Amino acid sequence: MLIKQENKAKLLISCPDKPGIVAAISTFLYEHGANIIQSDQYSTDPEGGMFYMRVEFYLKDFDISFQTLKKAFGTIAEKYNIDWKLESAATKKKMAIFVSREDHCLLELLWKWSSNELAVDIPLVISNHQDLQKTVESYGIPFHYIPVTKQTKQEAEEKAIQLINSNNIDFIVLARYMQILSADFVSQFPNRIINIHHSFLPAFIGANPYAKAFDRGVKLIGATSHYVTDDLDEGPIIEQDVLRVNHRYATDQLRVAGRNIERITLARAVSWHADDKIIVYGNKTIVFP
- Residue type for position 128: N
Backbone dihedral region of 11: left (phi > 0), alpha (psi from -120 to 50 degrees) or beta? beta
Q: Is the pLDDT of residue 167 over 70?
A: yes
Q: What is the CATH number of the domain that holds 255?
A: 3.40.50.170
* Same domain membership, residue 279 and residue 156: yes
CATH number where 70 lies? 3.30.70.260
Total of domains in the chain: 2
Whether residues 82 and 206 fall in one domain: no
Q: Are 222 and 111 within one domain?
A: yes
Tell me the C-alpha distance between 114 and 235, whole Å: 29
Digit-coded pLDDT (tens) for 117-153:
999 999 999 999 999 999 999 999 999 999 999 999 9
CA distance 201 to 234: 10
Supply the range of the domain harboring residue 185.
Answer: 93-287
Q: Is the pLDDT of residue 202 over 60?
A: no
- 151 and 212, same domain (yes or no): yes
User: Predicted confidence band at 3 (pLDDT cuts at 50, 70, 90)?
Assistant: low
Q: Are residues 100 and 197 in the same domain?
A: yes
Cα gap 197→175, rounded to integer Å = 9
Is the pLDDT at 205 greater than 70, yes or no?
A: no
Residue 200's pLDDT is 64
Mean pLDDT of 4-23: 93
> pLDDT tens across 62-111, in order?
888 899 999 999 999 999 999 999 999 999 999 999 999 999 999 999 99
Task: List pLDDT tens digits, range 27-61.
Answer: 999 999 999 999 999 998 888 899 999 999 999 88
Do 69 and 99 lie in a common domain?
no
Tell me the average pLDDT across 154-158: 96
**Is residue 56 located within the same domain as residue 99?**
no
Residues 243 and 221 sit within 8 Å (Cβ to Cβ): yes
Domain endpoint, select from 70, 88, 106: 88
pLDDT digits (tens, 9 = 90+) for 208-239: 777 888 888 888 888 999 999 987 778 999 99
- Whether 107 and 63 map to the same domain: the answer is no
Q: What's the per-residue H, E or C state across the chain?
A: CCCCHHHEEEEEEEEECCCCHHHHHHHHHHHCCEEEEEEEEEECCCCCCEEEEEEEEEECCHHHHHHHHHHHHHHHHHHHCCEEEEEECCCCEEEEEEECCCCHHHHHHHHHHHCCCCCEEEEEEEECCCCCHHHHHCCCCCEEECCCCCCCHHHHHHHHHHHHHHCCCCEEEECCCCCCCCHHHHHCCCCCEEEEEECCCCCCCCCCHHHHHHHHCCCEEEEEEEECCCCCCCCCEEEEEEEECCCCCCHHHHHHHHHHHHHHHHHHHHHHHHCCCEEEECCEEEECC
Residues 188 and 152 in one domain: yes
Does residue 9 contact residue 87 with C-beta atoms inside 8 Å?
yes
Catalytic residues: 233
Q: What's the pLDDT score for residue 206?
A: 66
- Please check whether residues 165 and 220 belong to one and the same domain: yes
Q: Do 59 and 140 fall within a single domain? A: no
